[in-house]
Structure formats: C-alpha cells, structure tokens
C-alpha cells in the first residue's frame, strides 16, 4: 500500500486503509479465504523493490496500481509491479483518467494516464489489454 502522492496531502490515510481493509474482507467473504493477499505499508518504490529483489519475482497473479497519481510514481509502480506479475497475471491501473484541477490547467506529470500509456506502449509485445473501463485499465502479461 502506497502512502499516496502530493495530491493526498491532508488526507487521513488511516481512513483510506480502513476502507481498504473493509473491501478486502468483503472480497474474502464473497470469494473465500483461499486467495493469498499481502498488504504492504510504506513507500511503494521501496516496498516493490524489496519484492522484486526477493524470491517473489514472477509469482503474483494480480497487481493493483492505485496510490500516487503523479506520472513518475505510477510509471515506477507499473515497471516494478510488472516484474512481480507471472505470465498470465493481470495488472489493474486505477484512476486512468484522473486529473487535478490546477489554476494553471492540467499538468500531465500530475496525472496517471501519460505514465500508464507510456508503460503499455513500451511493453506492448509483453502484454495484452484485457478490459478497459472509464477510470480503470486492465492488462494481462503474456510473456
């Protein structure tokens, strides 16, 4: 779990974590306890790097990218998360079309979409877009 980006300043992250925990419990009650889930608290660059450098590489069935909305952060999470994903695994990007209203307009470096698009375009031979919703993008690792 990431700590969020600059757009989360002033946000009660304990409330966000509580909501996450409730959603996990809801999913477990619907789909059973057989699926393994690990919640990591901390900076995603640090936590994902630890997993990539461990024996966890290529073992994840699902990676969900949702934390900071800053393009550099999203791109780093995507690159590291993809290394953890096994072939056939799915990665979900949340907030695909999210943007921040700034007095000077929209800053593309403060939006997830440019980073997600760059990641997909660079890795197009290694993935397949499996489902697109208005604010989410799903990909499957094919190699």
Q: What pLDDT is recorded for position 3?
A: 52
Q: Which CATH number fits domain 6-141: 2.40.50.140, 1.10.10.10, 3.30.365.10, 3.40.50.150?
A: 3.40.50.150
pTM (2 d.p.): 0.80
Q: Using H for helix, E for strand and C for coil, what is the string for 11-25?
A: CCHHHHHHHHHHHHH
For residues 124-143, give the mean pLDDT: 90
pLDDT in tens, 56-104: 888 899 999 988 899 999 999 999 999 999 999 999 999 998 888 889 8
Q: What pLDDT is recorded for position 2?
A: 42
Q: What pLDDT is recorded for position 81?
A: 95
- Tell me whether residue 138 is exposed, middle or buried, using C-beta atoms within 10 angstroms of its C-beta: 0 to 12, 13 to 18, 19 or more: middle
Q: How many angstroms separate the CA atoms of 143 and 133, rounded?
A: 24
pLDDT in tens, 10-54: 667 788 788 878 878 887 787 777 677 778 788 899 999 999 999
Going by C-beta distance under 8 Å and a sequence separation of 6 or more, which residues neighbour residue 106? Answer: 99, 100
pLDDT in tens, 91-105: 999 999 888 888 988
- Contact between residue 143 and residue 83 where contact means Cβ atoms under 8 Å apart: no
Question: Is the model's pLDDT at 9 over the cut of 70?
Answer: no
């Amino acid at each position: 779990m990431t700590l969020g980006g600059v757009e989360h300043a002033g946000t009660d992250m304990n409330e966000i974590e509580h909501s996450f925990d409730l959603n996990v419990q809801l999913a477990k009650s619907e789909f059973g306890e057989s699926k393994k889930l690990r919640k990591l608290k901390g900076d995603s660059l640090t936590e994902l790097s630890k997993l990539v450098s461990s024996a966890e590489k290529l073992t994840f069935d699902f990676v969900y990218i949702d934390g900071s909305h800053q393009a550099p952060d999203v791109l780093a999470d995507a690159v590291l998360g993809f290394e953890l994903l096994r072939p056939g695994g799915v990665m979900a990007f949340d907030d695909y079309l999210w943007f921040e209203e700034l007095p000077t307009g929209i800053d593309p470096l403060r939006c997830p979409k440019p980073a997600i698009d760059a990641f997909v375009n660079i890795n197009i031979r290694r993935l397949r877009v499996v489902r697109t919703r208005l604010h989410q993008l799903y990909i499957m690792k094919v190699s």
